[in-house]
Structure 1
Amino acid sequence: MERIASKVILLWGVRRAILAILAGALGALALPPFSFIGALFVSFTLLVWLMDGAASAPGTGFFARWRSNFWLGWLFGFGYFVAGLWWLGNALLVDAEGFAWALPLAIFGLPACLAIFWGLATWLAGCLWSDGFGRLAALAVGFGLAEWLRGFLFTGFPWNTIGYGVMPIPLMMQSAGPIGIFGVSTLAVFVLSAPALLGTRRGLAGGLTLAAVLAAAHLGYGAYRLSAAPAPAPAVDAQGEQPLAVRIVQPVIDQARKMDNSDRVSVFEEHLALSALPPKDGARRPDVIIWPETSVPFILTQNRDGLTRIGDMLSDGQILIAGVVRAEDAVPGQPPRYYNSIYAIDSQGQIIGAVDKVHLTPFGEYLPFEDLLNSWGIGNVVEMPGGFTAGTRHALMTLPSGRSFYPLICYEAIFPDEIEPLVAGAAALLNVTNDGWFGDTPGPYQHFQQARLRAVENGIPLIRSANNGISGVVDAFGRVEQGLALNQKGVIDATLGGSPVPVWDSYGRQTHFWLIVVALFLIAGISRFGFKFRLN
């Protein structure tokens, strides 16, 4: 290890830059569908040694080292985000004639922007760099703050936050309950970087001991939480009420078909046919049927026949929750406003509830700097006059039975800090999405994992309906109770019962995150400016 570390530390110029990119790209193997955690240990170990080289390079001044550290983080992040997000380009190939020219922007442009956050992470870490295990704490603080900022700056895009790479299974997901994804990410960087100490021998005993304690706490807490999980809900609860029976529809409609106006009727009929299938294996008739995001291929309020067909398909008392485009008349002389929404529709074909998507997708559902970009011939991927309009607030979808769902439409599920306290009154999170834009790529797997973590953080189950997958029912501990694989057409019949699992609320998780940052900052600061942490 010491010989490898020495070679990496002494690298310079182009070879150093190439290794930084490759190290970041390797780390993306920890993300779904691969979930190889070991890749992140190698990635961050190499990053520490590369930063050691920048810090010890002869003849470099203070500001030169800062600049070098920033570019190291940027190159590392560029490799990670290209390897982890290349599949975004698949959405542009759905209408290749209009958008294929933008492939380089999707595959390389977005990662280049996201990598700035990681450049800032290593820049900050470089300010606190030392020769003991305090430098691992500095790196953890830098990345923790960078990932937190990435969650909300410029509308936010916390996709593939580092912490997801160390939470591939429910045992390793439970730490998200008390400290959230950003707290897990911060501590994970410290643990993932710890093998670097084997190559430099400075701060070895103290650093490995602390890393081992953190890893053991992560796994131990997960085992404790799962061992304390309540038994499955009884067929009838104490009040004599049956658990809610839910049917999730996964139609697997190719995105090109969804965009073809001439095929809308057959697309609609496929959803109806799957919804009307008899329950399997003696399952109860569903109380609620759930369709994916934008599953209704026309404006439902302008198509009375569509509502009639839905009413005819539903039995008395059944409810359909469907992803729709909702139109709302604007001021006279202006085009309608369009919302990415869900409707609740009863067996009479009446719309009895609606919730709009609040956090829209840039360049997909709306165009930043629209007038300027339109003048350059750049438009939305989703064709809609004026784009979509954002909903004003998150709201529960409450059923006639009194049960409520907390809707997360599409990628709203990746924003943990945007889930409002009213989620405590919901029976489940409801994530409807259309990942058909991304085909058979890592994207749907990554999206599903992030939605699962929202269930763990909030202590309530998740119901997920995705056009081409991955759909499923996930319990409050992140365990998949039932699911349909990617591109597997069919339905899921499940029951939803039991009580919410007590967890820390969003304020508590944020408080714990900041306590972690402060503690690691103190370790890094004392190591840099005070006595050295050398316990070996």
Structure 2
Amino acid sequence: MTQRLTAWQAYLLAAVFGAGGAFGQQPYDLPPLMLLGMIGAVWLFQGRVTARQAGVTGWAFGLGYFMHALQWIVSPFMVDVARHGWMAPFALVFMAAGMALFWGVAFWGARRLSRAGPWALIPCWTAAELLRAYIFTGFPWASPAQSGVGVLAGQALAWIGPHGLNAILIAVAVWAASALTGPPRALRWRILRETVVLATLLALLLPVMRGDAPLSGHTVRLVQPNAPQKEKWDPEKIPVFFQRQLAFTAAPPQQTAPDLVLWSETAIPWSLEWAGTALEEIARAGGDAPVALGVQRSDGLRYFNAMITLDQSGAVTQTYDKHHLVPFGEYMPLGDMLARFGIYGLAANQGHGYSAGPGRGCWISGRWVMRCR
């Protein structure tokens, strides 16, 4: 049936399947639609006879998917609409098109490896997602595996990780698309073959579905002010959000007192060098529990997206500078050169944005350990 579609019809349908598959991600949280979208992409792949056609189909599917799944990236541009608003549509389209290239290459490679069936998509698509998570500092957001967080299949994440779960999802999509197509005379053999494959996949899943993971006995209180992005830096709203976080931090425990209070990234609007009084208030609200929070700090002309821990007096006991920065948002590639043309990142300073920290760290305080990436 897919052979009856023109090239442009197939590409448009692939984009529709991709946009529909994005309903499997937050805030919709409908993982069956994620799987249906992937099945549709594999079904279209089977009708693309050349590697070029397969590659464009994969890219179109990824474009529709990432345009929908990454729509949240326009929010920071809305903080200062007059300055950054015009960049929002370009950022979304270019980001989605760039992420879709990984899937386009996967589909192209799968067709080059196999002219007959879609099974080469399993290693190629999985490898593309693995590469997307690490190359150019990595951008693993909206990975298909993330759609399984709220369902039973998501338990596999603790054992085989997101890329293992991606491989299983892709394999199931390939199985389903293959089971729906093929010559009628081969139906009996096809059903037997696909049943064996599905049974094997389920057998791989069974060991990871062992119920809840054992708890550590520690209690962590997570605090965030529920501040709309466009209001976070509003001078009139800053005291409201700060007092809200203090109240949450000092609230009586429902069961056991927290061992650690954790505030979010850039939890306060003041740079660390000017936040002395605020840090003392935060420490008092935390009581006996240490408080870890995200702040911005400077060292000369260099700025860092940092995380600190406070003792009961408000003194900084540990500092971690984020080293895995998001391109364009936290730093601008070729920042000095682009700054000459008036192009800056959202967190730009001297054209570059934030500076990267020295690397991963591990904090130890009392009974808890925090690993920072």
Cα pair 1:314 1:346 within 8 Å, conserved: no
Is 2:250 aligned against 1:276? yes
Please show how residues 212-231 of structure 1 align to structure 2 within 5 Å.
212-223=198-209, 225-226=210-211, 229-230=213-214
Deviations 1:414-472 (A, max 9, x none): xxxxxxxxxxxxxxxxxxxxxxxxxxxxxxxxxxxxxxxxxxxxxxxxxxxxxxxxxxx
Cα pair 1:35 1:168 within 8 Å, conserved: no
Aligned AA for 1:114?
Answer: M
> Structure 1's 104 and 356: CA in aligned 2 closer, same or farther, altered over 3 A?
same
Is 2:334 aligned against 1:369? yes
In the alignment, which residue of structure 2 is the partner of 1:82? 67
The number of residue pairs the alignment matches comes to: 367
Q: CA RMSD in A?
A: 2.5
Please show how residues 137-536 of structure 1 align to structure 2 within 5 Å.
137-165=119-147, 167-169=148-150, 171-197=152-178, 198-201=180-183, 204-223=190-209, 225-226=210-211, 229-230=213-214, 243-261=217-235, 264-280=238-254, 283-315=255-287, 317-329=288-300, 335=301, 337-385=302-350, 386-399=352-365, 401-407=366-372
Cα pair 2:76 2:229 within 8 Å, conserved: no
> Structure 1's 290 and 36: CA in aligned 2 closer, same or farther, altered over 3 A?
closer
Higher RCO (CA 8 Å, separation ≥ 6 residues): 1
TM-score by length of 1: 0.63
Aligned AA for 1:174?
Answer: Q
Query: 1:313 Cα shift?
Result: 3.5
Within 1, Cα distance between the matches of 2:237 and 2:177?
Answer: 57
Within 2, Cα distance between the matches of 1:267 and 1:260?
Answer: 10
Cα pair 2:109 2:124 within 8 Å, conserved: yes
Aligned AA for 2:363?
Answer: M
> Structure 1's 351 and 116: CA in aligned 2 closer, same or farther, altered over 3 A?
same
Query: 1:219 Cα shift?
Result: 4.4
In the alignment, which residue of structure 1 is the partner of 2:96? 111
Query: What SS does the corresponding residue of 1:341 show, helix, strand or coil?
Result: strand
Cα pair 2:283 2:290 within 8 Å, conserved: no
Query: 1:391 Cα shift?
Result: 1.0
In the alignment, which residue of structure 2 is the partner of 1:43? 37
Query: What SS does the corresponding residue of 2:320 show, helix, strand or coil?
Result: strand
Q: 1:94 aligns with which of 60, 79, 87?
A: 79
Query: What SS does the corresponding residue of 1:173 show, helix, strand or coil?
Result: helix
- Please list every run of 5 or more consecutive structure 1 residues that lacks an aligned counterpart in the other structure: 1-5, 56-64, 234-242, 330-334, 409-536
> What is the aligned-residue identity percentage?
30
Within 1, Cα distance between the matches of 2:249 and 2:63?
Answer: 44
Query: What SS does the corresponding residue of 1:200 show, helix, strand or coil?
Result: coil
TM-score by length of 2: 0.89
Deviations 1:121-172 (A, max 9, x none): 11111112344xxx2321112201111111111221121222233x243531
- Please list every run of 5 or more consecutive structure 2 residues that lacks an aligned counterpart in the other structure: none
